[in-house]
């Protein structure tokens, strides 16, 4: 649980000093509510396990995440997220957790590390892609990890002879926290790429509009030049016609005899 506690500790410090307040406000989760959730997860992670004869349940890996999942799911749906998409994402994360738990096993520290890293990173990315919203992906990661943990441990006990049925153990807490971090990080990367694309499109549109404006001004200038040239030519032609009429008007009038032959 060390990795998850370290990540949560960093988030708690940022929230306490107000550095991440605006970010979580954009998620539709107030900073104080987020701080309480993070604090509850940290406290749950250090609380003792609940044990019976062949049953073990951790507070930080099962009880608190289940409550937080329900809370974030309700907040996400009320904030406009699609409930069906969140549930589909949850099922996908549960399948990923189950698959990696069965592939890596629970026997060694290396296997547990590989499990929570693979499950967290891939599960978080799939949750973000399927849920479509930040809070929806958080709910899907938490709920999917809880469901996948329960299913995978049931399979290990039934098919592989695992004697103790454990909920919330064997790296699942770290997988949840890494998955939540991966989902939010992916969301920010996608948002940054979209902003970059929109900025380029806006810049291209401005350049196109400016080019069209310059072209229109050039055509107007050319039209004005042609109009002025035509007016000057017409004026010159009119002046020439007036001069010719003046020359003809200065000649003495001719009689009919002069025109016929002058006999």
Q: Which tens digits make up the pLDDT trace of 91-106? A: 999 999 999 999 998 8
Q: Please check the confidence at residue 201 and state whether its pLDDT lies above 50.
A: yes
Sheet of strand 55-57, all strands in order from the earlier edge strand to the far edge: 50-51, 55-57, 165-167
User: pTM, whole model, 2 decimals?
Assistant: 0.74
Contacts for 45-54: CB closer than 8 Å, 24+ residues apart: 45/1, 45/4, 45/5, 45/8, 45/173, 46/5, 49/169, 54/163, 54/164, 54/165
Task: Answer with the residue of higher pLDDT: 210 or 76.
Answer: 76
Q: How far is it, in rounded angstroms, from Cα 124 to Cα 185?
A: 9
pLDDT band at 236 (very low <50, low <70, confident <90, very high): low
Q: How far is it, in rounded angstroms, from Cα 239 to Cα 254?
A: 27
User: pLDDT tens, 14-52?
Assistant: 887 877 777 777 777 888 888 899 999 999 988 988 888
User: pLDDT tens, 159-190?
Assistant: 777 788 999 998 999 999 999 999 999 988 98
pLDDT band at 216 (very low <50, low <70, confident <90, very high): low
Region 2-18: what's the mean pLDDT?
86
Q: Please check the confidence at residue 150 and state whether its pLDDT lies above 90.
A: yes
Task: Answer with the residue of higher pLDDT: 157 or 58.
Answer: 58
Q: For the chain, what is the mean pLDDT?
A: 83
**Which pLDDT does position 251 carry in this prediction?**
47
**Which pLDDT does position 240 carry in this prediction?**
57
pLDDT band at 220 (very low <50, low <70, confident <90, very high): low
Region 107-121: what's the mean pLDDT?
92
Q: How far is it, in rounded angstroms, from Cα 193 to Cα 147?
A: 33
Handedness of CA 106, 109, 110, 116 (dihedral sign): positive
- Token pair in block for residue 215: 């072209």
For every residue of 162-230, DSSP letters joined together read: -SSEEES-TTHHHHHHHHHHHHHHHHHHHHHHHHHHHHHHHHHHHHHHHHHHHHHHHHHHHHHHHHHHH
By DSSP bridging, strand 165-167 and strand 50-51 are unpaired
What is the percentage of the chain residues whose pLDDT exceeds 70? 81
**Which pLDDT does position 195 carry in this prediction?**
86
Looking at the chain, the number of H-run helices and the number of E-run strands are: 9, 3
Hey, where are the domains in the chain? 2-202
Residue from 140, 173, 177, 178 nearest 58 by CA: 173
């Amino acid at each position: 649980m060390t990795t998850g506690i370290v990540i949560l500790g960093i988030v708690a410090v940022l929230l306490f000093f107000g550095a991440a307040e605006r970010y979580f406000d954009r998620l539709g989760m107030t900073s104080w509510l987020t701080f309480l959730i993070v604090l509850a997860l940290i406290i749950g992670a250090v609380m003792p396990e609940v044990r019976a004869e062949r049953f073990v349940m951790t507070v930080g890996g099962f009880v608190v995440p289940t409550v937080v999942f329900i809370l974030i799911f309700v907040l996400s749906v009320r904030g406009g997220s699609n409930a069906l998409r969140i549930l589909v994402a949850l099922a996908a994360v549960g399948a990923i957790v189950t698959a990696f738990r069965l592939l890596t096993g629970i026997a060694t520290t290396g296997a547990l590390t590989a499990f929570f890293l693979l499950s967290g990173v891939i599960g978080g990315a799939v949750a973000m892609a399927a849920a479509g919203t930040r809070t929806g992906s958080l709910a899907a990661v938490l709920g999917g990890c809880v469901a996948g943990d329960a299913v995978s441990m049931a399979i290990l006990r039934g098919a592989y002879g695992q004697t103790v049925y454990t909920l919330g153990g064997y790296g699942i807490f770290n997988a949840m926290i890494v998955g939540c971090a991966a989902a939010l990080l992916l969301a920010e990367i996608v948002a940054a790429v979209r902003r970059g694309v929109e900025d380029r499109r806006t810049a291209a549109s401005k350049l196109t509009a400016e080019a069209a404006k310059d072209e229109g001004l050039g055509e107007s200038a050319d039209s004005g030049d042609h109009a002025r040239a035509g007016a000057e030519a017409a004026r010159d032609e009119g002046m020439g016609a007036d001069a010719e009429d003046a020359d003809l008007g200065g000649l003495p009038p001719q009689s009919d005899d002069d025109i016929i032959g002058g006999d």
